[in-house]
Amino acid sequence: MILFVAGVPGTGKTSYGEWLEKERNFLHIDMERKCSGRSDLYKLWQLAVRTDDYSPFSTAMREMDRNIVITWGFPPDVIALANGIKSQGITSWWFGGDYAFARSLWLARERHTDDSHFRRQCDEIKKNWNQIEALFAPNILEVLFEDGRRLTFEEIAAKMQLT
């Protein structure tokens, strides 16, 4: 099984990938960390981005013969990349939720008060929502709620039917 998890900044994509690695024996590949130090995969990823051919990247992951979760807070202006991943039969999931709560979590994680990157990313998500929704539906999970509640990783895994 190969999962691709993207979404609103601060919704816990990376933490969920780390949890899946620790608790469910997945290999977590963090695209924001250049494939988590896997230079072989990162080179194939760069090739895919240049050529728009994601088959070598997906083939290399399938040859690992284990469950994999890819996390990436991709910028919506490169939605073609997410589409390329999905075209390889990789199950794509979107983490969404309350933007104010996500912002507070993102600021705490980043340890700064400048939220301009967060705001730009969210503005792009809103602007491109129709495309994002079409790409990820029906695998769109609201994981953060206005009342400060968030889904636990166990709840997310259950909704993904990973139990």
Q: How confident is the model at residue 34 (pLDDT cuts 50, 70, 90)?
A: low
Cβ contact 88:54 at 8 Å? yes
Fold for the domain defined by 2-159? Rossmann fold (3.40.50)
Q: pTM, whole model, 2 decimals? A: 0.90
Query: Domains of the chain: which residue ranges?
Result: 2-159
| Confidence grade of residue 46 (pLDDT, cut at 50, 70, 90) | confident
Mind listing the pLDDT tens digit for each residue in 79-127? 888 888 888 999 999 999 999 999 999 998 877 778 888 999 999 999 9
| pLDDT over 80 (residue 129) | yes
| Strand order through the sheet with 2-7 | 27-30, 68-71, 2-7, 91-97, 140-144
